[in-house]
Structure 1
Amino acid sequence: MAESGVGACPQVFVVDSQANYVPVPSERKSRWTRAGQKFFLLLVGLTLFGLLVQGCLIYNLYKKLEALALYESPPNFQNLSSPKASAQQGGNIMTQVGHRGSNEIPVQPLPKQVQQRPFAQLLGSSHPAGENNVVQWVHKGGETVIQNMDYNNGRLLVEKEGYYYLYSKVTVNAAMECVLIQHKVMKDTKAYDEPIQLMRSKSFQCKPWKPSSTKASGVEDIWNSFLGGIFHLLSGDEIFVTLEDIQTMRTGTADNFMGAFMIFP
């Protein structure tokens, strides 16, 4: 009986060793899982915040562009749904208020500061030759216009100080003889005793000899010059154009013009 008792011990030992082996869950894995979830939620929150900020910026930009479009839009809109009403307006600038359910486009008037900016456009005269080769211009009627400026004997008179864009074009017939063409835009100012040269175009046109029959045929050799630039002008300044050999100037309102408009007060 002692031998049978000794033989039973290994069985009890084996059972106890198997019962004590219990797998323990890993706490490290659960910690990483919770950290990943928090990081994911943080990314989602940052993404939503970025979309919100982007929406606010786009809205502000839209408002600024809308205000700029209203500022720079042409002042004269016509009623597209009623051509007769548009014709009766005669091109006058009117402020209209759109009503609900109507197809009329409300007209936004230009800001007062823009409406009062000086500008002028002069056209070529049939008698352009003036004293000291100063070109004379047509300053009334047709496509000519003068606002907050004045004109006297070929000269534009500046009334308001500011930066102006000045431009001038002349057309010359250089077919008959050799001519030195000097097209200048000049300024008379109270600060100096003599005129100041603002812009100049210089060209020597000399054609080869032609038989008398060719001259009699009235063939023209047209040459033109255009000058344009931005200058600071004072109140009381006078702007004018000179042309050497002004007798060769080809007359016509489409071939010759001069103008100025303020771009910054």
Structure 2
Amino acid sequence: MAEGGMGTCPQVFVVDSHSSYVHMPSKKKPRWARVGHRFLLLLMGLTMLGLVVQGFFIYRLYEKTEAFSVYRSHPLYQNMSNPKTSGQQGGTIMTRVGSKEMPSERPHPEQIQHRPFAHLMGSNNPVGENNVVQWIHEGGEAITHNMSYNKGRLLVEKEGYYYLYSKLQMNSGVVCSLIQHKVMKDTRAYDKSIELMKSKSFHCRTPKPSDGDDLWNSFLAGIFHLQRGDKIFVTLEDIHKIRPGLADNFMGAFMLFP
């Protein structure tokens, strides 16, 4: 019995069965876990990108290595890089051209000795028909080996790649003159001569030369594929301007490889 004669009222709890249920969120992942997951994805992406870039550079390096191997396997490179041993070893070199392999014979010493060549010297009478320069083909420093000479023309007797060269010295006796120095080829496949090399220049006489001559030099050189029976010759427009002399004018050819 409480003070004042009154009893304590009991507490009443009411349960509402129709109240809405509130879903409590699940426990969130730690921040460091989310950051680590993103970093891992970024790292995987960079790794894949690096593999792609590395593959590209490996492919480019393979292409360059393949091209260099083709160049090194060429007989001309073998002769230039190791002249003492390149001709001493026989056998066959496999040269890759695109996706094909083409065999090329490495020259033996006998083959090198028999390669055609010629060196023609300037003549005292260099004027020929149709402005074709005439030469001395034998005697002194002039020589022809496995090649023929006839009226200013070298006759090719063996097919191959040849290095051709020609040098002329002119005397420009007029105020100004046009100089055209050409290396030409006659071949059975064409009725007209083919122009292989040309030097075209407009030269004016210098004031009061001390010796009375105004000399002008022209030099041509190049590599060409020649067939058996081809004829190589030199022409000079207004050929009477040429200054005769053994060492002043010359022409030559030698085979690099078949």
Same fold? TM cut 0.5: yes
Any conservation in 2 of the 1:179–1:245 contact (CA below 8 Å)?
Answer: no
Residue 218 of structure 2 is aligned to residue 229 of structure 1: no
Q: How many percent identity over aligned positions?
A: 64
Displacement after TM superposition at 1:239 (Å): 0.1
Any conservation in 2 of the 1:165–1:260 contact (CA below 8 Å)?
Answer: yes
Bigger helix share = 1
Aligned to 2:112, the other structure's residue is in SS state helix
Any conservation in 2 of the 1:129–1:247 contact (CA below 8 Å)?
Answer: yes
Which residue does the alignment assign to 2:144?
146
1:19-72 residue CA offsets vs partner (Å, 9 max, x unmatched): xxxxxxxxxxxxxxxxxxxxxxxxxxxxxxxxxxxxxxxxxxxxx9xx863456
Residue 127 of structure 2 is aligned to residue 112 of structure 1: no
Any conservation in 2 of the 1:188–1:196 contact (CA below 8 Å)?
Answer: yes
Aligned to 1:170, the other structure's residue is in SS state strand
Aligned to 2:165, the other structure's residue is in SS state strand
Which residue does the alignment assign to 1:123?
121
Displacement after TM superposition at 1:144 (Å): 0.7
Which residue does the alignment assign to 1:167?
165
1:62-101 residue CA offsets vs partner (Å, 9 max, x unmatched): xx9xx8634569xxxxxxxxxxxxxxxxxxxxxxxxxxxx
Residue 221 of structure 2 is aligned to residue 206 of structure 1: no
Question: Which residues in structure 2 correspond to 1:10-29 (within 5 Å)?
Answer: none
Which residue does the alignment assign to 1:179?
177
Residue 256 of structure 2 is aligned to residue 263 of structure 1: yes
Which residue does the alignment assign to 2:243?
250
Any conservation in 1 of the 2:87–2:109 contact (CA below 8 Å)?
Answer: no
CA distance in 2, matches of 1:251, 1:151: 19
Which residue does the alignment assign to 1:42?
none
Aligned to 1:260, the other structure's residue is in SS state strand
List gaps (5 residues or longer) in structure 1: 1-63, 74-109
CA distance in 2, matches of 1:207, 1:238: 34
Aligned to 1:247, the other structure's residue is in SS state helix
Residue 62 of structure 2 is aligned to residue 69 of structure 1: no
* Letter in structure 1 aligned against 2:252: G
CA distance in 2, matches of 1:174, 1:71: 47
1:191-223 residue CA offsets vs partner (Å, 9 max, x unmatched): 000000000000112237x6xxx58x7521111
Aligned to 2:125, the other structure's residue is in SS state strand
Aligned to 1:200, the other structure's residue is in SS state strand
Q: How many residues align?
A: 159
Displacement after TM superposition at 1:177 (Å): 3.8
List gaps (5 residues or longer) in structure 2: 1-77, 89-107
Task: Give 4+ residue runs of structure 1 displaced > 2 Å after superposition.
Answer: 67-73, 175-178
CA distance in 2, matches of 1:155, 1:168: 13
Bigger strand share = 2
